[in-house]
Chains A and B, each alone.
Chain A
Amino acid sequence: DGGITQSPKYLFRKEGQNVTLSCEQNLNHDAMYWYRQDPGQGLRLIYYSQIVNDFQKGDIAEGYSVSREKKESFPLTVTSAQKNPTAFYLCASMRASGELFFGEGSRLTVL
């Protein structure tokens, strides 16, 4: 079955460390997105990518970086420059009809 796989599901990080969250899709979708969700809040856009080798900053890109070397993969790196990285991170891809498919999310906790 097609879908989006995020890993790891839970991740703990010490302050000052970079961590990379994986996002893989086999839906053959061009557009992919990374969102951050804090408790009781909506989703805020970090980065998005329309096609391979191209990506744009969203509303809260500071302290994050991405790459899009393959259509299937859109990893997110949370760098030490992100001052408050503890959150639930969601990766999504978009069907041409406008429907977003989400992965199960990665929950990052900074110790």
Chain B
Amino acid sequence: GQSLEQPSEVTAVEGAIVQINCTYQTSGFYGLSWYQQHDGGAPTFLSYNALDGLEETGRFSSFLSRSDSYGYLLLQELQMKDSASYFCAVRDEWETDSWGKFQFGAGTQVVVTP
């Protein structure tokens, strides 16, 4: 079956660094994405890794190792506004002419304390 595993909750203080791990087992793989969702809101895109390595976007970085079926999201210099749920998602491409579909993990609730 297909599954994505990520921790359910992480708590950290302002200014700290948090790493959210994601391991996946899917029928196909085309890339790993990360999304942020505040309570009651829509998910918003943070990053996308199709190839192995580290992608950096401001305070957020994302890493992928396809051989290990593993990735992580790194949140640096945590701010109160970073309190939210973070989801990893795998884009699996089954057919050559398909845009693919996305499987999401259950999400990690990040709680930032003063």
Contact = CB atoms under 8 A, between A and B. Distances in A.
Contacts of A101: 45
Interface in A80-103: 90, 94, 97-103
Nearest to B106: A42
B43 A102 contact: yes
Nearest to B87: A42
B107 A104 contact: no
A104 B38 CA distance: 11
A94 B35 CA distance: 14
Interface in A39-90: 40-45, 48, 50, 56, 58, 90
B99 A58 contact: no
B104 interface: yes
A97 B30 CA distance: 11
B71 interface: no
Considering residues B43, B48, B89, which has the most beta carbons from chain A within 10 angstroms of its beta carbon? Answer: B43
Given A97-B48, A98-B30, A33 B102 contact: yes
B33 A100 contact: yes
Nearest to B50: A98
Nearest to A91: B42
A43 B91 contact: no
B106 A58 contact: no
Interface centre among B4, B31, B42, B103 (most CB of A within 10 A): B42
Interface centre among B45, B89, B105 (most CB of A within 10 A): B45
Interface string A1-43: 0000000000000000000000000000011010100001111
Nearest to B31: A98
Interface in B16-44: 30-31, 33, 35, 41-44
Interface of A: 30-31, 33, 35, 40-45, 48, 50, 56, 58, 90, 94, 97-105
